[in-house]
Amino acid sequence: MQGSGLMVFMAVPLILCGAIAVLARRHLQDASLLRALWLIPVAVLGTVVSGALHRASDIDDALLNRSLSALVLAGCVIFLVANRSRVTGLVWVGVVLTTVGAGLNALATLVYGFMPVLQSAARYLGDELARGSHPSSRYVTAHGSQTFAVLLGDTIPIRGLNAIISIGDVLLIPGCSILLAACVVPLFYEEGVEDAGPQESSRQAS
């Protein structure tokens, strides 16, 4: 995703998680069973380090992007496997949406070395980008004839935000919202933790 709407996009899950936590808290009782949450700060740190290297080093941009994408894909697999038999219902939906969304974005970057941005989508927002050009160190302009880029790249323009998002981004919004709500529920609703206890005991016993 690119454009000034990035911060707005990042804020959407924060807003939605509050509504989900209130309206669906009884469906988030598996929250305390989530595992591998240590991957979140690792992913944030990796993104920060990658951005710093893009600005301060002569390392090839495509190499940096592919390295980070490979780590993201590995993290998605670890997170999915770690929680596969531990959480159910809405929490599991959040896990799947988040890992698939992040995985699709990482896969596109791993293939191209950059996140592909559809040329026609950029033109719709008023940006005339030549095919193969790099709007930034993380993006490359793709043509509509590149099927893989159309499927996984940034292809959905949002005029109000001056941004282009991917299918992966669309999945990440509800996925991250659910997982954030799942982490919030035990902090504010005691029953969210208590209800999870018997499930934890029964799963350990089995």
* Structural domain span for residue 43: 6-205
Predicted TM-score (pTM) of this structure:
0.82
Number of domains, the chain: 1
89-112 and 61-83 are packed helices; what angle lies between their axes, rounded to 10 degrees?
A: 160
196 within some domain? yes
pLDDT digits (tens), the chain, 206 positions: 555 566 777 788 888 988 898 888 888 877 778 899 889 888 888 888 888 888 887 888 899 999 999 999 999 999 999 998 888 889 999 999 999 999 999 999 999 999 999 999 988 888 888 887 877 878 888 988 888 889 999 999 988 788 899 999 999 999 999 998 988 887 776 554 444 444 444 444 44
Q: Could you give the angle at the alpha carbon of 191 between the alpha carbons of 188 and 196, nearest 5°?
A: 110
Phi, psi of 164 (to 5 degrees): -125, 125
1 within some domain? no
Neighbours of 52 (CB within 10 A): 10
